[in-house]
Amino acid sequence: MSVALLKDIAENCPKNRALLGLDVGKKTIGLALSTPDQSLATPLHTVNRTKFTKDMHAILDVVKEFEVGGFILGYPVNMDGSEGPRAQSIRDFATEMNRFLKEQGMVEPFIAFWDERLSTVSVDSYVDKLVEKRKTKINAKSSGLVDKLAAQLILQGALGYLSTHQ
């Protein structure tokens, strides 16, 4: 199975298995997990990026613990829908992720991209409304709260799409 936009491979999405949503940033990877029936996404945690292999082992631990059947990666396209350098960076990450997972024994991993335009901005706005002090906001960001909430928003959007397109 290839790595592609969710709309192009939705019919291949594993059924009755949890999906893992990823908000891949330069410094962190926010993770969110769906229920096995793929109806609800919940923020899970944040991986602080170090080296690709170490980051992938942290993700693989989640895959094993929760019996994850596939992955939804936030895809940062420009507001006009065009792809920029950040989108290519996510494509490269997904290609390496696919290779790594196959080496670890996952046969044909399901890896799909979901448009993440404004997901982090939406979460930042939400967090801003919830916290009163700048210090608390900084702690919310450094704790990975924004990253895992962005992953949840990305995954929930993909789950909504899948519920009507499978």
DSSP one-letter string for 19-78: EEEEEE-SSEEEEEEE-TTS--EEEEEEEEPS-HHHHHHHHHHHHHHHTEEEEEEEE---
pLDDT for the residue 134? 45
Superfamily of domain 4-165: YqgF/RNase H-like domain (3.30.420.140)
Residue bearing the bigger pLDDT, 34 or 107: 34
pLDDT above 60 (res 136): no
pLDDT for the residue 162? 96
Please give the mean pLDDT across all residues of the chain: 87
Condensed to tens digits (0 to 9), the pLDDT of residues 34-82 reads 999 999 999 999 999 999 999 999 999 999 999 999 999 999 988 787 8
pLDDT above 80 (res 124): no
